[in-house]
Structure 1
């Protein structure tokens, strides 16, 4: 699927991948630091969502859509380490199809998070751009109804069922 558009993404070296904007490379690095700090064995889609909303103002605005709900989303994400996400601790965010993908320093990418990064690149390409940005990642996260990021978005009251693969989750 990705062979016609350069080599596959190397999740261990996303900081060097020019198919991601500088902001999105920062999101990936921040998600890895967040997972490591929290003592998680994997970088999951909730780590990606948390970092994305902290770093990318356009993704934050698209998620909020003037409703003020982004504050609730961030609240759930902050609570992750003190309660809300404890049911995830020790489990792999997985559709069952792929193994955890290892990253640098022993923290792996969950299959769902790895798929979200890859899908963001594919979305950007379909939209005629050479680099995936935060909106592409937000859309990729929202398109996976079983991922932890969607669980958080739904818990905060956002309806992601209207995902259309052609615009932000809140559009």
Structure 2
């Protein structure tokens, strides 16, 4: 009998840089692990901002509260699921590059936009007195990069990314 399970391509190289991982809350570290798993499952060579957004929404309750109600969140999740089942095929094999300033282009297995979003999340965390970046810091960083795939997904779902970023910034104790 022939195995019907598709072969999984080689997983993107994991980032084992201590300073990268040490700056994450345990919750955000789980988000990164989920995004890495999603990229592998989707057959992508790199973790991109849409992988990060999907994993954030699935695993971080604080991130889910940043959205303007259940219907908006449901639409975003709907687009992310569509990406998993084919919507994102046009992105496969292409490196995500939004034009944002890449803080560290040497992070193997990460798109330049995802790398920039993580660096921005660290900066946002430090500016609010947090030692480690959390989910809302990353969500705010994703929403701020108008050219990334995460913002494309948000806007297709009817979410104003700029307004989302402002709502996060205005919330007490957030980015």
Task: Tell me the residue number matched to 1:8.
Answer: none
The equivalent position to 2:93 in structure 1, one of 80, 90, 93, is 90
Task: Provide the C-alpha distance between the structure 2 equivalents of 1:14 and 1:132, rounded to a whole number of angstroms.
Answer: 16
Q: Describe the superposition over 1:32-85 as per-residue Cα deviations: whole angstroms up to 9, x where unpaired.
A: 01101111011000000000000000101112x225211111111111132321
The answer on whether the counterparts of 1:92 and 1:100 sit within 8 Å (CA) in structure 2 is: no
Task: Provide the C-alpha distance between the structure 2 equivalents of 1:55 and 1:132, rounded to a whole number of angstroms.
Answer: 15
Task: Tell me the residue number matched to 2:72.
Answer: 69
Task: Provide the C-alpha distance between the structure 1 equivalents of 2:84 and 2:60, rounded to a whole number of angstroms.
Answer: 22
Q: Which protein has the larger Cα radius of gyration, Structure 1 or Structure 2?
A: 2
State the number of aligned residues: 152
The answer to whether residue 22 in structure 2 is matched with residue 18 in structure 1 is yes
Structure-to-structure mapping, 1:22-171, within 5 angstroms = 22-63=26-67, 65-95=68-98, 99=105, 101-102=107-108, 108-162=109-163, 163-164=165-166, 166-167=169-170
Scaled by the length of structure 2, what TM-score is found?
A: 0.79
Scaled by the length of structure 1, what TM-score is found?
A: 0.81
Q: Helix, strand or coil: the match of 1:93?
A: coil
Please provide the CA RMSD for this pair: 2.1
The ranges of structure 1 where at least 4 consecutive aligned residues each deviate by more than 4 angstroms after the TM superposition are 96-100
The answer on whether the counterparts of 1:14 and 1:28 sit within 8 Å (CA) in structure 2 is: no
Moved more, 84-93 or 148-157: 84-93
Gaps of 5+ in 2: 1-13
The answer on whether the counterparts of 1:14 and 1:25 sit within 8 Å (CA) in structure 2 is: no
Quote the offset at 1:167 in angstroms.
4.0
Task: Provide the C-alpha distance between the structure 2 equivalents of 1:117 and 1:84, rounded to a whole number of angstroms.
Answer: 24
Q: Helix, strand or coil: the match of 1:109?
A: coil
